[in-house]
Amino acid sequence: MATTLDTIPILHLRPGKDEPMERRHPWVFSGALDRRDTDGLMEGDLVELRSSTDDFVARGYWSPENIAIRILTFDASEEIDQAFWTRRLREALKVREAVGLAGEHAALRWIYGEGDGLPGLIIDLYDSIAVMQAHTLGIHRQRYHISEAMSTVLGSRLQVVYYKSAETLTASSPIEGEIDELLMGSLPKEQEVVIDERGMKFYLDVIKGQKTGFFLDQRDNRSLLRQYAKGRKVLNMFCYTGGFSLAAMLGEAKQVVSVDSSERAIDLTARNMELNFPGRDDTHEEIATDAFGYLEGLQGGEYDLMVLDPPAFAKNRRVLSRALNGYRRLNRIALQRIAPSSLLFTFSCSQVVSPEKFQEAVFTAALQAGREVRILHRLTQAADHPVNIYHPEGEYLKGLVLYVK
């Protein structure tokens, strides 16, 4: 992408496709383009988009997929050079500073794709360690420039940049270079890092852990649960690192049980408990088993606070109907088993499931369970996962806190 404005390939919108671009959505679909312009392009190439009458529209990078261009700038004077990456990273850090999330030893999402004007890029910062993920070949081809920009913005604070894209990078073309590699510094020998979130300490493994090693998006929701946990018997389903479980313990829950089908997740939860509560008593229990099976095996009334935070049931719209059935079933079983006068924290992280569809699924589950239910809170992702107002698809996490009579 080291292309000057004089040599950048130019693509045109088809007649009648100009108006949607005035809404500044950062995606251009293949059907909107004059396909004659794409001959000779390589996936990830920087391109300039013009209207059907040859007026400047935007610059971004090209893909032969359905989303043909991901927009990086709508400013005709802005080049996509090293200064561009540095500028965007600095702007994103200012957003986190504005909401108090960018302290010296903070764990935060530094870049959230379209929400920070950089489609296809995720960067999580764990104190001095940055973990970068590319979701597109266009970003993959820029990884060294992005790493350099991170170093420019953070200076000596940044010690490690780990590029971790094996699970996220998809491309139609062959991928050149490493997709999991250290771009700067070296990780601890045990490859583990300890982070602090509002008084809770967590081990994370940036190499073998899910995503970048930790789910920062639930930060505020963990804090909310902590406020409601006192004296309650808490069941945390799909616990992964045990974040909600630790929040419940710090909130003085009477009992906490963490369930996950992954033995590795359960081991990590147990270690995080020991890290925060050394020599702990039997207030907390970890169980490695199937979540649906565990819920169905309950007699009913054992727990008066439940957390349902499953992995995404739908990665695309083709399986949306099946995913909604999954949410209905999961919530129905929980609502049938939860004690009277209880609280249910229930979530969906499936981007293709809208807040309305998710609430409809929970509504149906409540009807099927025959329980009287009130919505206390509608929840979303933390502030370091900002949603570009022109890209509503960025609001992927939705949750409800329910009072169940």
pLDDT tens per residue, range 296-309: 999 999 999 999 99
- Is the Cβ–Cβ distance between 234 and 253 less than 8 Å? yes
Give the Cα separation of 109 and 98 in Å (integer): 14
pLDDT band at 359 (very low <50, low <70, confident <90, very high): very high
For 105-157, what is each residue's pLDDT tens digit?
A: 789 999 999 999 999 999 999 999 999 999 999 999 999 999 999 999 999 99
CATH of domain 10-73: 2.30.130.10
By CB atoms closer than 10 A (0-12, 13-18, 19+), residue 194 is middle
Comparing CA positions, the residue from 187, 131, 133 lying closest to residue 161 is 131
Least confident of 3-7, 339-343, 345-349: 3-7
User: Would you identify the CATH topology of the domain 215-404?
Assistant: Rossmann fold (3.40.50)
Extents of the domains making up the chain: 10-73, 82-194, 215-404
Question: CATH top-level class for 82-194?
Answer: alpha beta
Show the beta-strand stretches assigned E in 64-128: 67-73, 107-112, 121-126
Cα–Cα separations (whole angstroms), residue 175 to 164, 178, 210, 255: 14, 8, 22, 49
Cβ atoms within 10 A of the Cβ of 76, count?
12
End-to-end distance of the chain based on CA atoms, in angstroms?
58
Residue 4 has pLDDT above 70, yes or no: no
Average pLDDT, the chain: 93
pLDDT of residue 1: 46
Q: Give yes or no for a contact between 1 and 46, defined as CB atoms under 8 angstroms apart.
A: yes
Q: C-alpha distances in angstroms, 230 versus 85, 226, 234, 251?
A: 46, 8, 10, 5
